[in-house]
Amino acid sequence: MTERFSAREAIALAGDDFRELPVPMREFKPDGPLSWQGYDDSRRRALTRTGEDESVVCGTAVIGSTRAVLIAFEFGFLGGSLGARTGDRVEAAYTHARAHRLPVVSLVATGGSRMQEGMLALTQLQRVARQSALAREAGLPQIAVLRDPTTGGGWATLGAGADVTLALPGAQVGFAGSRVRPSDADPAAYTAEAQMAAGAVDAVVREEELRETLALWLTLLTAPAAEAEGEVEGEVESEAASGGEVEPVPPPAALGAPGLPATGWDAVRHARSPERPRAAAYLDAYFSHRAAISGDRCGGSDDGMLCGFGSGPAGRTVAYAAQCGTATRPAGYRTAARLIRLAGRLGFPVLTLVDTPGAANDAQAERQGAGSAIADLFAAVATARTPVTTLVIGEGGSGGALALAAPGNTWATPDSYFSVIAPELAAAILKRPASEVRDTADQLRIRPQDLVELGVIRGIVEHAGR
């Protein structure tokens, strides 16, 4: 179990210059809307114990260099439960955020809805969900920090509904609280770490790193879009001329970086070479700093798909989704789709890096919905609200690679190929002997220069130093 901080201790942990927002006033009859005997006494004891008169403290604070609205739960006040007055304060905080164009950071620690207010308490979740949706429509970033515990409606709205969800180590996280779970439930499944493994949490962040992590996220997600000026060297158009597209910068130098391949099989060999740079090298070369999202929010994650936001040239924030050379799993496709839609809401361009032999095709991948996940990513790219630029950096294997590629704005490196299917598989489907695999690679016309001639890609981006 992680340490349980009070609401104001959590605020001090996250930022500085906290300014509490005015508190909406709601009058209740004695013992609340249900006349629950002893409810007023319980509230008075909670006030004496915590110094707070409700389960949430709302205000603004400076985190790094960004002012944000903070919604901090006080678990010591009736278990951080949500009641009608809690809903009033959360709604007022979101209203302030929209009026002043501020991001929202929720420091969540709650046991769920307040039973002493019955269904009136439960319906506060609808109010909170609506406020979150309005912030999303307004293009305001929302970040949640899951403290111990984060359960019930607080998890199912402010926690899981955030754009970026962080958690403190060991925090209890789950829709079911400890007193309502099945008696034989594995407690390890209800932790921040388990939720990250299941794709519901982006990162588990240690207490001493929380402020720095929040500052980085807020800097990236609130950075204004930069306007590119002047011409860019080489074949790549400027951002201004290309409608805000991301410039596919030269790849990082690699040992023995090849020129254009002479044959289709040479293209395959170059793309599969262990010496060529992988996605992480490209991202490190392009971004001065970056922060990753993780997970598809419906049960899975894929280490072979790197997604997040980074600070690119001139401090411009760019979203990225990059394959790492492995067969991409359904969770990877869903995470990339989540990333592209989030970038669209916040107004950031997207850079995708294609490098996969294809989609994972084992039985588990099929059970996890490989087809629907790929279809969803195709749709996310096709309907992206901001420009998407793609660079093929290695293997481009069939639809599992194409799903991440921007139509009309895909580029390739000399040590890459893009094919309807891998040459070996094409030969097998055509019932050709293994001796004809190389000839099949030529017939498929998968070299970068072939792809340019066919109009599949816009151009070839040379390695640095060539």
Give the pLDDT confidence of 242-297 residue by residue, as tens digits: 346 776 655 665 544 568 999 999 999 999 999 899 999 999 999 999 999 999 99
Q: Is the pLDDT of residue 11 over 70?
A: yes
Question: pLDDT tens across 450-459, in order?
Answer: 999 999 999 9
DSSP state of 234: T
Reported as type and span, the H/E element at residue 395 is strand 388-397
The pLDDT mean for the chain works out to: 90
Q: How far apart are CA 466 and CA 460, in angstroms?
A: 13
What average pLDDT does the segment 131-137 reach? 97
Contact 263, 441 (CB under 8 A): yes
pLDDT at residue number 181: 79
pLDDT at 464: 59
90 burial via Cβ count (<10 Å: 0-12, 13-18, 19+): buried
If residue 308 lies in a helix (H) or strand (E), which one and from where to where?
Answer: strand 305-311
Q: Across residues 351-361, what is the average pLDDT?
A: 96
Q: Which amino acid appears at position 323 of this protein?
A: Q
pLDDT of residue 244: 66
Q: Which residues contact 7 (CB under 8 A, 6 or more apart)?
A: 52, 56, 57, 72, 73, 74, 107, 109
Mean pLDDT over 6-28 rounds to 94
- Structure letter (DSSP) for residue 125: H
Global confidence as pTM: 0.91
Tokens encoding 265: 């099989």
The whole-angstrom distance between residue 166's C-alpha and the CA centroid of its chain comes to: 11
Alpha helices in 59-142 (DSSP H): 84-100, 118-122, 124-137
Residue 369 confidence (pLDDT): 94
pLDDT tens digits, one per residue of 28-69: 899 999 999 999 999 999 999 999 999 999 999 999 999 999
CA distances from 404 to 146, 352, 390, 411, 452 (A): 31, 7, 8, 12, 18
Higher pLDDT, 18 or 23: 18
Per-residue pLDDT tens for 186-233? 888 889 999 999 999 999 999 999 999 999 999 999 987 544 333 222
Residue 227 has what pLDDT? 43
Q: Are 370 and 330 in contact (CB under 8 A)?
A: yes
pLDDT per residue as tens digits for the range 320-334: 999 999 999 999 999
pLDDT digits (tens, 9 = 90+) for 369-401: 999 999 999 999 999 999 999 999 999 999 999
- Tens-digit pLDDT profile for residues 408-450: 999 999 999 999 999 989 989 998 998 898 999 999 999 999 9
pLDDT for 228 equals: 36
Rounded CA separation 438/265 (Å)? 5
Query: Can you read off the two tokens belonging to residue 343?
Result: 């970038």
420 CB contacts (<8 Å, ≥6 apart)? 398, 426, 444
Give yes or no for a contact between 361 and 330, defined as CB atoms under 8 angstroms apart. no
Report the alpha-carbon distance of residue 200 to residue 165 in Å, rounded: 8
Look at residue 251 in the predicted model and tell me its pLDDT: 62
Burial (CB < 10 A; 0-12, 13-18, 19+), residue 191, is buried
Helix (H, G, I), strand (E, B) or coil at 238: coil
What is residue 236's predicted lDDT score, i.e. its pLDDT? 34
What's the one-letter identity of residue 320? Answer: Y
User: What pLDDT shows up at residue 232?
Assistant: 28
- Residue of 323, 448, 452 lying closest to 377 (CA atoms): 323
Number of H helices, E strands in the chain: 17, 16
Q: Which two tokens stand for residue 414?
A: 């000399």
- Rounded Cα distance between 383 and 385, Å, is 6
**Tell me, what's the pLDDT at 279?**
95
Q: What is the pLDDT of residue 1?
A: 55
